[in-house]
Amino acid sequence: MRAVVVVLVALGIGVGAWYQFGSDEAAGGGRAPMGPVPVTGWVLEEQPFQSRVEALGTLRAWESVTITSSVSETVARLHFEDGQRVNTGDLLVTLQQEGEKASLREQQEFLAEQEREVARLENLARRNQVAQTELDQRRTQAAIARSRIEQEKAQLDDRTIKAPFGGVLGLRQVSPGALVEPGEIITTLDDISRMRLDFTVPARFLRFLQPGQQIEASTAAYVQAFTGEIAAVNSRVDPVNRSVTARAVFPNDNGLLKPGMLMQVTVLGDQRNALLVPEESLVSRSTDHYVWQIDGDTAKRVFVEIGDRRPGWVEVLDGLQAGDQVVRDGVARLRGNESAVRVLES
């Protein structure tokens, strides 16, 4: 036990002595300075560049409606199949309407009787053989009958559901004999000959969004890209997240696009020449951005103003010029405002 204590004490004395002498050596500048940091460089030159704005959007049909009933009634007959294409005015659903048809026939008979009586009284009135008030009363009864006929026809129309526009029907949700309530879904109808796509981008990209401008969109469902054009840009910017919504239109003649699909949108901006630096050369701290510019055997920290990006590259608007060389690999090992470097061949 005593031997172990002696060994621990000796180790403690040795560590303390090393710490003391090491600190004195560092304070006296005896430690050897670090060597140059090996880095690779990139020489800036103007390159063709096209701004790209990417966003997500959800497809919607050109026209879309949920087919429902406006009255509470029993389904007499369904005139469509799941997924069927229909034209404007095609009959979709017939609800029970025997009572309304009977009322319509009754009102039509009543109108015919009133019209015959009006004709008879008009002949008598021309010979001054009947009072004008009696003729007026008959005419009023005939007008009331016509109004009731229109009401009965409206009741029949409510029980005859037709396609409001041409498109593709969804899956039917009811069967013949079922009692449907107002607002209950019978099926859906979508005009997918064209598709709408609303997408949102930060307001700073507003200059890229112009009606008639072509855009590309892709989805995980297909390998191909789809081409459309911007139809309109919202007149207001969201004051909360400072974004603006644009609407694009895509042709869909082959029917591949479906409402509800998530689309990755790419908006292409103007084509121009720009100074580009590799993404790995740029260091960002909040709103500040800088690179390490190589000057002989030294790399200096230089703050830059950046513009748009594309995968792997960042546009430099200010702070550098063509011909300048910046550090590409090795940025993480540089410290301070200047560092000694050794430029390796790329």
Secondary structure (H, E, C), 257-313: CCCCCEEEEEEEEEEEEEEEEEHHHCEEECCEEEEEEEECCEEEEEECEEEEEECCE
Which of 235, 270, 305 lies at the terminal end of a domain, its last residue?
A: 270
Domain that holds residue 102: 97-158
264 and 305 housed in the same domain: no
Q: Cα angle at 126 between 121 and 129, to 5 degrees?
A: 65
- For the chain, list residues with pLDDT below 70: 1-34, 346
Q: How many domains does the chain have?
A: 3
- Residue whose entry in the numeric block shows the structure tokens 């008639």: 212
277 and 331 housed in the same domain: yes
57 and 204 housed in the same domain: yes
pLDDT at 135: 84
Structure tokens at 162: 């037709």
292 and 149 housed in the same domain: no
User: Could you give the CA distance from residue 260 to residue 253 in angstroms, rounded to a whole number?
Assistant: 17
pLDDT at 34: 61
Q: Confirm if 69 and 181 have CB atoms less than 8 A apart.
A: yes
Question: The domain that contains 206 carries what CATH number?
Answer: 2.40.30.170
Question: The domain that contains 282 carries what CATH number?
Answer: 2.40.420.20
163 falls within a domain: no
Question: The domain that contains 143 carries what CATH number?
Answer: 1.10.287
**pLDDT digit string (tens) for 188-228?**
999 999 999 999 988 888 877 888 888 889 998 898 899 99
232 and 278 housed in the same domain: no
175 falls within a domain: no
227 and 282 housed in the same domain: no
User: Shortest CA distance to 321 belongs to which of 272, 275, 277?
Assistant: 275
**pLDDT digit string (tens) for 111-137?**
898 889 888 888 888 888 878 888 888
User: Could you give the CA distance from residue 78 to residue 136 in angstroms, rounded to a whole number?
Assistant: 46
Decide the pairing of beta strands 288-295 and 214-218: unpaired
324 and 308 housed in the same domain: yes
User: Could you give the CA distance from residue 86 to residue 94 in angstroms, rounded to a whole number?
Assistant: 16
pLDDT at 8: 45
Amino acid, single-letter form, for residue 18: W
295 falls within a domain: yes
Tally Cβ neighbours within 10 Å of residue 279. 13
314 falls within a domain: yes
197 and 212 housed in the same domain: yes
215 and 259 housed in the same domain: yes
